[in-house]
Structure 1
């Protein structure tokens, strides 16, 4: 599926990067594990037409994957799903809350994301989708947008991760790749992520999953299980 087809399906043909602000925020690609090996490996090995990043923050890892597509000659699009309103930890941690850049009582983080994509010259490879995770997955399912790779980096509570896994599994094509961030089999900072992923994989009889430096990846079987 091409970027124009994605825009037709999700944005009624509009391009969210059309007529950008005359003044952009400075480049700010602050993030966590944004250049993880699993991300470039996914682009190089799967050569995806459609990558979805659920929980994109300022877009650092979306930018990294889009650059990897260009470097490896992959004609693909990264759909960046986020409300840009923050998750629970962004509202409980004062330093993370400051990153939301509230204006008149409302987060304005999307403007940072927008500026980052434009300043990196990647508007032709990225499509933002400002919805919560579950509604974004349902929209894509209804519109027939099939995904090759999902990078999940949204909420960190067990219940929200379980909901995200269930929602995006139906949109990921058979043979596609799922990457979960903040996964640590030793517990780590967000043990709910590990519990949700392990439970999901056990329920779907997924035996092969790989863990590396805070991320876990596993494939969707070609045949339904």
Structure 2
């Protein structure tokens, strides 16, 4: 018996597929999971937190799988489904936040949303976010990835109608405590309409944004 039990019917139950969290899994375990996934090309599968050995393992079973190295994410089938629902915009406060932001971006895309990413719009230069108001106000949900003081989600939420999904990153100097400082800042956002996911959880942020912008049934 394998030491995993894939939930391949999750899409039928709740509209979104299971993702494979690879951190802590061996290459052999990931290869076995990828082999089972191969039998269901109708189900989008994301492999998150992949390391080099996981990439090799997945490609041994799914040679055309898409790999985004900065996001530490793989996807199969390699092409996202045609987008439906409202657009998602992902904002990265700084270039250092891009790995988490890209994980959110690709998650939203592979869950069927139109999604774009804009980087380097942190609060250290407010003119940068203000110059993009038309773009951010066109989005139906906004993911904001920020470390350091984590102030950007509150600023964005005060400027737009759409809900904001805040994802703290573990970027910052010592007093950022590996993302705890921005997490607390985001939880204490004075602007309403901010939902907060866990530190570095780009997948969770992208998933929530995809659910928010899903087509109405």
TM-score w.r.t. structure 2 length? 0.40
Query: Of the two, which has the highest radius of gyration?
Result: 2
> RCO (CA 8 Å, sep 6+): is it higher in 1 or 2?
1
